[in-house]
Chain A
Amino acid sequence: MAMLEKTTDVRALRHWEGDMEADYIYTTGIAGDKFFKEIKENAKITGTKCKKCEIVYVPPRMYCERCFENLEQWVDVSDKGIVHTYTICNMDLDGSKMDKPVIMAVIKLDGMHGGIIHKLGEVNPENVKIGMRVQAIFKNKKERVGSILDIKYFKPVK
C-alpha cells in the first residue's frame, strides 16, 4: 500500500524558506500625537476628560468609550501614581533567561482612570508591593523622541 511506502530518507524531503516583509508605520492619531509631543517637549503626561462620565483617559482618546461624547477637555495628569499590579519577567522576548529581571507594572497615575503599562526601576523585585507609590523618570530632553519609552521607568517615592 502506498501509505506504507513512505520516504525514509529525510534528505529527499524538501522545504521552502520564506521571509515576509511586513514593515509598518502607524501614526499615533490626533490625540496620540498631542500626548507624545507633550511627553517629548515638556515631560508631561496628558489625558482627555469626559465631563459627562467624569473619566480621564490616559493615553488620551478623541471620544468617550462609554458615552461616545467628543472629548475636548485636555488635562495634565500627575507623573506620580500607584502600582496597581505588576509582574516580574525573567525571560526576554525570545524566551532566553535574562541576567536581571525586568519588572512590568500597571501604574495608576493620580488623576487618571485605569492604568498604563510601564517598567519599574531603582527597586528590587522582592520590594515591589501593590499600592506602592511611584514616579515617572523621563530621559533628558535631547534623548526624547516622542515615544512612551521617553519615560525610562517608574521609581518608588515616599
Chain B
Amino acid sequence: MTEKIKHFPGEKLSQKQIDEGEVTTVKHSPNVKYAWSCGEAMSRFLNEMKKGKLIGRKCNKCGRILFPPRMFCEECFRPTNEWVYLKDTGKIMTFSKSYLDTNAKRIKEPILVGVIAIEGASENMGFMHYFGEMDPDEIKIGMRVKAVWKDEKEREGAVTDIKYFRPLKEGE
C-alpha cells in the first residue's frame, strides 16, 4: 500500500476456493528441461572431482592460478596455459548460516554455506560449498578447512562429490 492507495480493489482468495473450482483458473505445467554444456575447463574439473582431486588452470602472463579453472584469463585477455592440481584445503573467505532449507522451509539446525579460498589458488578465487563437523557458533572467517569427499564409488563427477568442508585439525 502507498500513501495515496489505502485499499486495492478485488478480493482475497483462499487455497480452497482455487482447489475446489469456486473461481475459474488456468493451470499449466510447462516443460522446462534443459541441458547445459560444461565446456572444456569445467568438464576436466568435474572429471577430476570424480577422482577426488581439485584442479585449476594457470595463466603464464599474470601467473595467476584460476580456480575453478577457466580456459581464458579474464585479466590478460589470453588463453590460459597449464593445468595445476590443488590441495583440498583452504580458508573460509565468507560464510552464511541458513535457517531456511532449499525449499525455503524453516529449520532448527542451520545449513552452513560459504566461500572457500582453496590453498594454492590465487587470491579472490572463491569456491562455494557447505561446511560440516563444526558448531554453528565456532565458524569464522579465516578458519582453515579441509574437504570431506564421498566414497569413490558414490562420486559422479559433480561439485557435490565433496560432501562438505570440515575444520582442519591441528597437525594436519
B5 sits at the interface (CB 8 A): no
Which of A1, A12, A19 has a CB less than 8 Å from the CB of B33? Answer: A19
Binds B, one of A20-28, A109-117, A126-134: A20-28
A28-47 interface (Cβ within 8 A of B): 28-30, 32-33, 36-37, 40
Residue of B nearest to A63 (CB): B9
- Whether the Cβ atoms of B24 and A27 lie closer than 8 Å is yes
Contact of B26 among A14, A17, A26, A30 (CB under 8 A): A26
Is B35 in contact with A17, judged by CB distance below 8 angstroms?
Answer: yes
How many angstroms from the CA of A22 to the CA of B33 in the assembled complex?
10
Q: Known contacts A2-B81, A26-B25, A36-B24; decide if A18 and B34 are in contact (CB<8 Å).
A: yes
- Tell whether, in the assembled complex, residue A14 and residue B43 are in contact, meaning their CB atoms are under 8 Å apart: yes
A142 in the interface (beta carbon within 8 A): no
The number of residues on chain B lying at the interface, defined by a beta carbon within 8 Å of a beta carbon of chain A, is: 33
| Chain B facing A: main interface SS | mixed
The chain A residue with its CB closest to the CB of B34 is: A18
Please give the residue numbers on chain B whose beta carbons come within 8 Å of chain A beta carbons, in ascending order. 10-11, 13, 18, 21, 23-30, 32-40, 42-44, 46-47, 71, 79-82, 157
Can you list 14 residue pairs at the A/B interface with Cβ under 8 Å? A2-B79, A2-B82, A12-B47, A13-B43, A17-B36, A18-B36, A20-B32, A20-B33, A23-B30, A27-B24, A28-B26, A29-B10, A30-B10, A146-B21
